[in-house]
């Protein structure tokens, strides 16, 4: 039978799944037997998947089919030792299933989000009816699993009136039946403790009830659950304290997973009540606290128990920081928790070692990046921090003593007890107190410099960079964490040793070495960089080759930490011709390779940032290097443009703009040929390209304004300006372009088009006056006035718009206070400080083509008023000069406003007139 294509067979399957939900055992058993027989036939899984995806299939049938599909994959996806009961799914069918599964998942998510409950009002009553009629726990758990899925939205969606109305509907329909099935199942558990086949589904049923409890209680404490809290909490505590040998002694581990799943769900529920309903929950808290730490003391280190361990420790952490922290006041209890819960979970496990070796990216993400994934080590340290909130001295005494004992044990047998040293270093680093936005760390557990000299330095001085790699990573992590506390002379002497570890075969170790160097270069003393080119340049012959060689290790070809370190180094060192040439050769080789398959957006960003940094710091100092860089860069940049590597187009335009910037006019012909690309409408259709294209267009206008004018390009540029300024998401870019035109072209050139420019601007102002538009318009008008004088400004506007003084009084002057920026201050208002270093890119970078600003390729702003050093002083002297040179022309203005506060709008407007007259007059 070809299950995957026959409509008749799909209808048969549909009826079969419906009968599996029947409260009558006879038709249910026949349906289950039928499904079991045909599950071994080719195409069965694909047919079930297609049945689930059909839009006209009844909701309950779809749910039953989805559950069957999940179980079918679990049994048939891989080969078993005995293929007779579970023959594997063929590779061809697997491929088809994979191609459909992602679409199905998205479709079901959309259906649940948009249809339930308003457009699917029969779903919940049907589920309740089948739940109350069912006698067997296979359909019961299927129904609970469905309810769990549809109620999950209450955990993740924002609290709105609509969401609360949906929640009330679900509570009214399902809260009572949920408690009924929960209590019924709880009464059956004691009678089935010796039967794994019966007990397993009962425990799973309780786990599902707990997950539904979590969803329905997440937004707020419902009245029904408050009224019945005791019935829930008594059973919750029982499940934490009871063992189930018939399941937990199963050597396969499946039984333990079932029981731990229930315990973890209970812990998440009591965590929720501790966080949101502590007052109502307080009477149960001592019993749960005792049950949880007793459970943790017996839980094994197996990774299969991670979720239970993490959720249980989270509960103790919340208790330790809350109003009932006195539960931890007994020193004996503290010591017991520390020795039996904290230290065992902080110790390195085999799973950690495997992750260290096999997946360095994930290891680093968990270890130093503070990912959202809770690990045993991290959550155990969070418990210690929580207890220390009220019992700091006791925690300090315990931990300090443990660190000494661990290091003593390591000293007795370094090779055999290296994990003891790892644990000691982890305790110091993880319990450090972060200050100053996370860039500073302090600790009172050890004396940092002494610990560094006696415990860390021996690891960094070890000649074998591949020996005991986890300890080397620990040492580098400590160095990075406490970098502000290690004196500069000591750091400088240690830098060659850190640089050596860039040669380590361990991806984690050479990543941590690069991260350490990069963070050291960010250290500041009183606002100034602690390490300068005088400190770093002597290390460059070893440092840069080691960094580029680190990118050649397997799986490290796109190592974010190494590339980011290269960027910081090139931002500090003075790169001469030899260094610059070697760097650009290495960088273009890396860039050529990643162009083939861009897959790491963070690495790619820093790669282009490094290229920009090299151009910025070396070519500007030594123009002879420009041709060297062009010879290396142009072929790969051309490849990006020709092959339309969309992810790299915005970066390419920014690098090209930077190269245009550093050229002295006239530009070489190959650059002028690029201008055709700028004017192509296709280039501007991609939103990610637009900011970079504007940046490149500005560069051309500054360096080749005369050539562009001779070629008659201004109408094309103004067409682009008009498109940009007419849309709210690109209006600022339109002004960047317009300001550059005003700065670099004479009024004679732009005068034929100025009327069209004002019409476009005032039309946009009338249709959609927003702060985002008003601010750059004020700056543009101020710039125009300064460049061409007030008479030209007023005259050009007056041609297209009457009542010019109404514009000045009602629009321009009141909005002068909106302006910020160093150069804009001379035109209008205030000062802001420039960035001093490359900022972290955070979440700005993503997969696919997006625009992310390259700090090192940024446009250098040209000051149209270079000669004005102090605007306030200039205002006073210019008023006097203006009055003396033009008697009687401005007496009212001077008389009325000379004594005004110099930052008031009217004085700023007056100052603009003075700028314009002074500029024209001189």
Residues 6+ apart with CB under 8 A from 838: 567, 568, 571, 609, 613, 855, 856
**E-strand stretches of 379-518:** 433-435, 440-442
Task: Convert the pLDDT of each residue in 330-363 to its tens digit.
Answer: 999 899 999 999 999 999 999 999 999 999 999 9
CA–CA separation, 30 and 348 (whole Å): 52
Percent above pLDDT 90 for the chain:
47
Average pLDDT over residues 567-571: 93
CA–CA separation, 354 and 352 (whole Å): 5
Q: Do 661 and 859 form a contact (C-beta atoms < 8 A)?
A: yes
Beta bridge partners of 528: 525
CA–CA separation, 112 and 120 (whole Å): 9
- Cα–Cα nearest to 774, from 715, 816, 824, 809: 816
The DSSP secondary structure of 183-218, one letter per residue, reads: HHHHHHSGGGTT-HHHHHHHHHHHHHHHHHHHHHHS
Kindly tell me if the per-residue pLDDT of 105 is higher than 50: no
pLDDT at 453: 95
Of 75-79, 201-205, 264-268, 599-603, the poorest mean pLDDT is in 75-79
Of 510-514, 601-605, 897-901, the poorest mean pLDDT is in 897-901
Kindly tell me if the per-residue pLDDT of 882 is higher than 90: no
Examine residue 117 and say whether the peptide bond preceding it is cis (omega within 30 degrees of 0).
Answer: yes
Q: Do 298 and 364 form a contact (C-beta atoms < 8 A)?
A: no
- Cα–Cα nearest to 142, from 255, 210, 36, 61: 61
Token pair in block for residue 898:
């000379």
Percent above pLDDT 70 for the chain:
83
**E-strand stretches of 710-799:** none
Using CA atoms of 502, 508, 514, 515 in order, give the dihedral in degrees to the nearest 10.
-160
pLDDT at 235: 97
Kindly tell me if the per-residue pLDDT of 890 is higher than 60: no
Average pLDDT over residues 624-640: 91
With 0.85 as the threshold, say if the pTM is over it: no
Kindly tell me if the per-residue pLDDT of 874 is higher than 80: no
User: Would you call 496 helix, strand, or coil by DSSP?
Assistant: helix
Task: Convert the pLDDT of each residue in 754-809 to its tens digit.
Answer: 989 988 888 888 887 777 888 888 888 878 878 887 778 878 887 876 666 566 56
Kindly tell me if the per-residue pLDDT of 887 is higher than 70: no
pLDDT at 436: 61
**E-strand stretches of 532-631:** none
Q: Residues 113-119: contacts with CB within 8 Å, 24+ apart?
A: 113/153, 116/150, 116/166, 117/166, 117/169, 117/170, 118/166
Kindly tell me if the per-residue pLDDT of 238 is higher than 70: yes
CA–CA separation, 878 and 216 (whole Å): 72
CA–CA separation, 32 and 739 (whole Å): 75
Banded pLDDT at 13 (limits 50, 70, 90): confident
Other beta carbons less than 10 A from residue 350's beta carbon: 10
Kindly tell me if the per-residue pLDDT of 423 is higher than 90: yes
pLDDT at 835: 38
The DSSP secondary structure of 739-798, one letter per residue, reads: HHHHHHS-HHHHHHHHHHHHHHHHHHHHH---HHHHHHHHHHHHHHHHHH-HHHHHHHHH
Kindly tell me if the per-residue pLDDT of 903 is higher than 60: no
pLDDT at 893: 46
Q: How far is CA 634 from the centre of its chain?
A: 33
pLDDT at 109: 45
CA–CA separation, 480 and 520 (whole Å): 7
CA–CA separation, 586 and 910 (whole Å): 56
Higher pLDDT pick, 83 / 568:
568
Kindly tell me if the per-residue pLDDT of 161 is higher than 80: yes
User: Would you call 712 helix, strand, or coil by DSSP?
Assistant: coil
Residues in the chain: 922
Kindly tell me if the per-residue pLDDT of 902 is higher than 50: no
Higher pLDDT pick, 848 / 558:
558
pLDDT at 909: 52
Kindly tell me if the per-residue pLDDT of 85 is higher than 60: no
Beta bridge partners of 524: 529
Kindly tell me if the per-residue pLDDT of 816 is higher than 90: no
Task: Convert the pLDDT of each residue in 502-555 to its tens digit.
Answer: 999 999 999 999 999 999 999 999 889 999 999 999 999 999 999 999 999 999
Computed over every residue of the chain, the mean pLDDT equals 84
Task: Output the CA torsion sign for 14, 20, 23, 28.
Answer: positive
Kindly tell me if the per-residue pLDDT of 851 is higher than 80: no
User: Would you call 704 helix, strand, or coil by DSSP?
Assistant: coil
Examine residue 504 and say whether the peptide bond preceding it is cis (omega within 30 degrees of 0).
Answer: no
Banded pLDDT at 286 (limits 50, 70, 90): very high
Average pLDDT over residues 703-726: 87
pLDDT at 840: 66
Average pLDDT over residues 610-630: 87
Task: Convert the pLDDT of each residue in 184-221 to its tens digit.
Answer: 999 999 999 999 999 999 999 999 999 999 999 999 99
CA–CA separation, 263 and 171 (whole Å): 24
Task: Convert the pLDDT of each residue in 429-482 to its tens digit.
Answer: 999 988 766 667 889 889 999 999 999 999 999 999 999 999 999 999 999 999
Token pair in block for residue 109:
């998510």
Average pLDDT over residues 397-422: 96
Average pLDDT over residues 118-137: 86
pLDDT at 35: 86
């Amino acid at each position: 039978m070809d299950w995957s294509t026959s409509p008749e067979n799909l209808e048969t399957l549909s009826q079969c799944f419906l009968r599996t939900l029947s409260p009558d055992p006879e038709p249910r058993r026949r349906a289950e037997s039928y499904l079991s027989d045909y599950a071994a036939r080719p195409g069965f899984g694909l047919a079930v998947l297609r049945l689930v995806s059909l839009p006209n299939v009844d909701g309950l049938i779809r749910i039953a089919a989805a559950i069957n599909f999940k179980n079918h994959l679990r049994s048939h996806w891989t080969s078993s030792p005995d293929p007779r009961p579970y023959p594997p799914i063929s590779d061809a069918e697997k491929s088809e299933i994979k191609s459909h599964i992602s679409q199905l998942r998205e479709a079901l998510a959309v259906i649940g989000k948009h249809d339930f409950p308003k457009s699917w009002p029969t779903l919940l009553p049907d589920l309740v009816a089948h739940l109350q009629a069912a006698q067997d726990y296979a359909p019961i758990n299927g129904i609970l699993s469905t309810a769990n899925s549809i109620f999950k939205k209450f955990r993740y969606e924002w609290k709105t009136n609509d969401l609360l109305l949906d929640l009330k509907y679900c509570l009214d329909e399902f809260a009572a039946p949920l408690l009924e099935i929960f209590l019924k199942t709880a009464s059956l558990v004691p009678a089935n403790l010796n039967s794994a086949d019966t007990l397993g589904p009962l425990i799973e049923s309780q786990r599902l009830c707990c997950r539904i409890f979590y969803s329905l209680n997440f937004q707020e404490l419902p009245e029904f659950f408050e009224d019945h809290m005791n019935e829930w909490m008594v059973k919750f505590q029982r499940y934490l304290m009871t063992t189930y040998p018939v399941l937990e002694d199963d050597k396969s581990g499946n039984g333990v997973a079932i029981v731990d799943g229930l315990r973890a769900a209970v812990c998440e529920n009591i965590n929720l009540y501790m966080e949101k309903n502590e007052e109502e929950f307080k009477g149960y808290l001592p019993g749960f606290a005792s049950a949880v730490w007793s459970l943790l003391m017996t839980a094994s280190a197996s990774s299969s128990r991670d979720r239970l361990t993490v959720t249980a420790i989270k509960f103790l952490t919340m208790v330790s920081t809350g109003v009932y922290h006195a539960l931890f006041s007994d020193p004996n209890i503290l010591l017991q928790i520390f020795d039996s819960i904290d230290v065992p979970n902080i110790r390195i496990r085999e799973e950690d070692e495997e992750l260290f070796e096999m997946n360095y990216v994930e290891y680093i993400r968990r270890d130093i990046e503070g990912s959202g994934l809770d690990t045993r080590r991290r959550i155990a340290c969070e418990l210690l921090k929580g207890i220390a909130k009220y019992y700091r001295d006791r925690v300090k005494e315990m931990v300090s003593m443990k660190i000494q004992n661990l290091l003593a044990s390591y000293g007795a047998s370094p090779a055999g007890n290296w994990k003891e040293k790892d644990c000691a270093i982890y305790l110091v680093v993880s319990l450090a107190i972060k200050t100053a936005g996370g860039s500073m760390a302090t600790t009172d557990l050890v004396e940092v410099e002494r610990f560094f000299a006696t415990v860390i330095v021996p690891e960094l001085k070890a000649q074998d960079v591949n020996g005991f790699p986890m300890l080397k990573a620990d040492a580098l992590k400590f160095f990075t964490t406490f970098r502000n506390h290690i004196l500069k002379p000591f750091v400088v002497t240690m830098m060659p040793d850190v640089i050596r570890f860039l040669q380590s075969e361990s991806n984690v170790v050479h990543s941590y070495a690069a991260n350490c160097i990069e963070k050291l270069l960010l250290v500041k003393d009183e606002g100034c960089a602690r390490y300068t080119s005088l400190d770093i340049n002597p290390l460059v012959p070893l440092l840069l080759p080691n960094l580029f060689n680190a990118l050649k290790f397997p799986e490290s070809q796109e190592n974010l930490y190494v590339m980011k370190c290269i960027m910081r180094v090139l931002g500090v060192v003075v790169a001469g011709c030899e260094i610059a040439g070697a760097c650009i050769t290495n960088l273009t080789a890396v860039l050529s390779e990643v162009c083939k398959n861009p897959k790491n957006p963070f690495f790619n960003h820093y790669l282009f940032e490094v290229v920009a940094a090299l151009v910025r710091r070396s070519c500007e100092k030594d123009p002879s290097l420009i041709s060297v860089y062009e010879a290396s860069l142009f072929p790969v940049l051309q490849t990006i443009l020709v092959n339309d590597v969309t992810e790299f187009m915005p970066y390419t335009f920014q690098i090209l703009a930077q190269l245009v910037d550093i050229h002295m006019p006239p530009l070489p012909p190959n650059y002028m040929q690029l201008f055709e690309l700028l004017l192509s409408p296709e280039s501007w259709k991609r939103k990610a390209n637009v900011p970079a294209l504007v940046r490149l267009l500005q560069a051309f206008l500054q360096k080749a304004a005369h050539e562009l004018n001779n070629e008659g390009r201004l109408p094309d540029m103004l067409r682009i300006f008009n498109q940009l300024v007419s849309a709210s998401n690109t209006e600022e870019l339109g002004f960047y372009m317009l300001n550059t035109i005003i700065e670099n072209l004479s009024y004679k050139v732009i005068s034929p088009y100025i009327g069209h420019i004002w019409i476009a601007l005032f039309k946009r102002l009338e249709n959609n006056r927003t702060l985002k538009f008003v601010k750059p318009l004020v700056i543009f008008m101020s710039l125009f006035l300064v460049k061409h004088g007030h008479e030209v400004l007023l005259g050009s506007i007056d041609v297209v718009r009457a009542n010019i003084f109404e514009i000045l009084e009602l629009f321009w002057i009141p909005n002068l206070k909106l302006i910020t920026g160093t150069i804009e201050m001379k035109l209008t208002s205030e000062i802001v400080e420039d960035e001093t270093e490359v900022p972290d890119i955070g979440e700005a970078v993503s997969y696919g083509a997006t625009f992310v600003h390259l700090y090192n390729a940024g446009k250098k702003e040209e000051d149209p008023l270079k000669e004005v050093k102090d605007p306030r002083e200039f205002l006073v002297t210019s008023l006097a000069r203006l009055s003396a040179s033009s008697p009687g022309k401005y007496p009212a203005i001077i008389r009325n406003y000379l004594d005004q506060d110099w930052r008031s709008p009217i004085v700023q407007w007056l100052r603009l007139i003075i700028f314009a007259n002074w500029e024209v007059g001189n």
